[in-house]
Amino acid sequence: FLQVLHVDHVQSNTVTLESLRDPNGPMYYNGVYHLFYQHNPFGPLFGNIHWAHSVSHDLINWIPLEPALAPTEPYDINGAFSGSTIILPGNKPVMLYTGVDNKFHQVQNMAVPKDLSDPYLREWVKYSGNPIINVPAGITRDDFRDPTTTWIADDGKWRMIIGSNRDNTGIAFLYQTEDFVNWTRYDSPLHKVEGTGVWECPDFYPVWVDSTDGVDTSVINPSERVKHVLKLGLLKNDNDYYMIGSYNPEREHYVPENDFTLSTLRYDYGKYYASKSFFDPVKKRRILMAWVNESDSEADAIAKGWSGLHSFPRSLWLDQNKKQLVQWPIVEIEMLHENEIGLQDKKLEGGSLHEVVGITASQADVKISFKLTDLEEPEELDESWTDPQLICSKMDASKKGKFGPFGLLALASKDLTEQTAIFFRVFQTKGRYIVLMCSDQSSSFGPVLICCFTQTTPKCTKENPYSHTKPVLFIWKNMASCTNRLTCPKPTFRRSSARNGLDKTTYGAFVDIDPKQDEISLRTLVDHSIVESFGGGGKTCITSRVYPTVAIGEDAHLFAFNNGTESVVVSELNAWSVKKARINIVEETISCTD
Ligand code: FRU
């Protein structure tokens, strides 16, 4: 997706100065997908915020256009911040966005396409009466932003929410309009939660309770068949949280089923923020896109000339348990697949590795399922260990368990000194199984330090001792009986990258599956510096940014691994190289036959 554009820049050393942030106003209009996004065309850091604009016929290959909005007017001179689009009856698109005005107030503005007969809607005209909504009394001037996609209620009036904050209570203010020019705020917000601070980029939409199809944002509650998702981004930690609940349009009230705490559900437990969903009428699905920020420094962004990616678009729907969402890369990714490889029923003994060869490991789509045939007496999980991210940090991929860690080593160097480990561990607590999923940017499942040689001239080696193909010099499993030991110099475990000064935080979350009944599945998309992982069929997602120095291009490797003491079976593995999408080419070069 958009990351490919930026990686291209790295590879071709083209100097571009730009920063890419929140996706805005995605929509499908007259046969074309539109995506706008927060963008600084003049530099790789935050500032000069425009609405950049790209269009696509397939959500994979994108044609860049001129920015749709530039900060030019008194009501948006300090930035055209995030917002939404809606297609009104009569097939008329409207854009609502936050402008930061000349006094740094966040106000809400409107714009419409200049020429509806232009298939790409290249030019947008700001409404002469902007701003259409001002900061409410009692709200700080820069705590009022990001209007959502509007929805229409039975009374024929449109509704919309805006993210805000009062005294550290996060608020979704609710508005109503008939004409998009005159807006009335309801006395009580749609929802608010104490202690959460500013809410950014809210999203509010229905999901079917009994179908994986998407629902148009304006469908309220036909025969009790939908629940409503309220998503909000917390400025204080750059995480997107969501609640599932019921929306009562008569009382303009939202009742979430889960109380909001910081362990509330998240779309993604890694780096994934300012997301935005839209209903795709073509395939009747709800699609989610998000900004994935860098894990390197501002100085790095300046040096490379760009910062920020968008995640690969995901479909989302309500899980069968009706308690959480499920996300999955959109099916169009298959257009980029090549070199399919497959494997079945491969046993991974405790402490073993299996290299996945035959695909481009630096740009890949990998699906793997693990079967635990003898799942007896998993390790007990201390009841006080309630924070999965902390468990993943304490028990990184190098820490042996019983069932796990097992999973994938992505963007790994041949000698494993660089690697990003995405893995599972299975525990039990109070007679229940617990499945933990981790994405470990600092893991160190690497060569053993002590070598035992049967040869007369011992020498240290960097060969991988877990590989069954190269066990010649070692009797590593039988160290106790070894008489000829040598302690080699410690290999440097450089983990996801040899570079220092990067954010290598380990991420983790639980996966709500029963490993006795279900296989434990993982799908991971790798694209140079982004690793997006979907555990348990998309119930738990973790995205990370990594910057290997050795494991790049042809020198990147992919392994399945098991560092638990019990064996696991890879019941199925399918992997593909993923071709580059065409996203930074002008329209003329894309023909229908391409
Ligand atoms: C979220 C955000 C939004 C704001 C935009 C400015 O990343 O802070 O709240 O509209 O970015 O670029």
Tens of pLDDT, residues 142-178: 999 999 999 999 889 999 999 999 999 999 999 999 9
Sheet (strand 92-100) strand order: 80-88, 92-100, 106-113, 124-126
Decide whether any atom of ligand 1 lies within 6 Å of the 82 Cβ.
Answer: yes
Write down the residue that tokens 């001002």 correspond to: 134
Nearest-angstrom CA–CA distance, 51 and 95: 11
Q: Please report the pLDDT score of residue 11 as a whole number.
A: 35
More confident position, 323 or 13: 323
Could you write out the DSSP letters of every residue in 244-313?
A: EEEEETTTTEEEESS---TTS-BS-SSS-EEEEEEEETTTTEEEEEEEE--SS-HHHHHHHTEE-EEPPP
Question: Atom 2 in ligand 1: which residue has the minimum CA distance?
Answer: 200
Burial class of residue 482 in the structure, from the number of CB atoms within 10 Å of its CB (0-12 exposed, 13-18 middle, 19+ buried) = middle
Q: Which atom of ligand 1 is nearest to the CA of 198?
A: 9
Query: Ligand 1: distance of its center to the CA of 200 in Å?
Result: 7
**Confidence category of residue 417, pLDDT binned at 50, 70, 90:** confident
At 349 the pLDDT is 94
pLDDT > 70 fraction of the chain, expressed in percent and rounded:
86
Ligand 1 proximity of 201 Cβ (cutoff 6 Å): yes
Other Cβ atoms less than 10 A from the Cβ of 591: the count is: 6
Whose C-alpha lies nearest to ligand 1, atom 8?
A: 200
pLDDT reading at 183 higher than 50: yes
* DSSP bridge partners of 354: 560
Does residue 21's CB lie within 6 angstroms of at least one atom of ligand 1?
A: yes
Structure tokens that stand for 80 in this block: 């055209």
Residue 138 DSSP symbol: T
Q: Percent of the chain at pLDDT above 90?
A: 75
Higher pLDDT, 394 or 520: 520
Asked whether 532 lines ligand 1 (CB < 6 A), one says no
Name the residue of 36, 82, 238 to mutate for ligand 1: max ligand atoms within 8 A of Cβ.
82
At residue 494 the predicted structure's pLDDT band, cuts being 50, 70 and 90, is: low
SS3 call for 350 = coil
| Separation of alpha carbons 229 and 243, rounded Å | 6
CB of 146 within 6 A of ligand 1: the answer is: yes
CB of 274 closer than 6 angstroms to any ligand 1 atom: yes
pTM above 0.80, yes or no: yes
Helices of type H across 169-236: none
Of 14-23, 50-59, 236-245, 272-281, the least confident: 14-23
Q: Which atom of ligand 1 is nearest to the CA of 291?
A: 7
Structure tokens at 116: 């509806």
Provide φ and ψ at 547, rounded to 5°: -130, 70
Give the model's pLDDT for residue 262. Answer: 65
Which residue, judged by its Cα, is nearest atom 1 of ligand 1? 274
Separation CA 425–CA 522 (nearest Å)? 13
448, pLDDT greater than 80: no
Strand partners, 35: 54
Please identify, by atom number, the ligand 1 atom nearest to the C-alpha of residue 200: 9
Q: Which of 106, 145, 239, 291 has most ligand 1 atoms within 8 Å of its beta carbon, as the pocket-test mutant?
A: 145
Per-residue pLDDT reduced to its tens digit, 91-119: 999 999 999 999 999 999 999 999 999 99
Answer yes or no: are the C-beta atoms of 62 and 2 closer than 8 Å. yes
CA distances from 284 to 58, 123, 215, 225, 242 (A): 14, 28, 7, 16, 22
The closest alpha carbon to 295, from 405, 198, 420, 395, belongs to: 420
Nearest residue to 230 (alpha-carbon basis) of 212, 211, 208, 257 = 257
State which ligand 1 atom lies nearest to the alpha carbon of 81.
10
The span from the CA of 244 to the CA of 227, in Å, is 7
More confident residue, 542 or 251: 542
Ligand 1 binding pocket includes 100 (Cβ within 6 Å): no
Does the Cβ of 441 fall within 6 Å of ligand 1?
no
Residues belonging to the active site: 22
Q: Kindly provide the residue ranges of all beta strands, DSSP E only, lying in 79-182, ordered along the sequence.
A: 80-88, 92-100, 106-113, 124-126, 144-145, 151-152, 158-166, 169-177
Contact (Cβ atoms closer than 8 angstroms) between residue 366 and residue 413: no
Among the ranges given (248-257, 285-294, 431-440, 561-570), the one the predictor scored with the smallest mean pLDDT: 248-257
Is any atom of ligand 1 closer than 6 Å to the C-beta of 143?
Answer: no
Whole-number average pLDDT of the chain: 88
* pLDDT for the residue numbered 313: 98
Distance 82 CA to ligand 1 centre (A): 6
Give the number of the atom of ligand 1 that is nearest the alpha carbon of residue 83: 10
Q: Is the CB of 240 under 6 A from ligand 1?
A: no
Contact assessment for residue 191 and residue 148, using Cβ atoms and an 8 Å cutoff:
no
CA gyration radius, the chain: 25
Q: What is the pLDDT of residue 465?
A: 35
Tokens 């106000």 belong to: 107
Q: Which of 61-75, 470-484, 499-513, 560-574 has the lowest mean pLDDT?
A: 470-484
Amino acid 251: pLDDT = 82
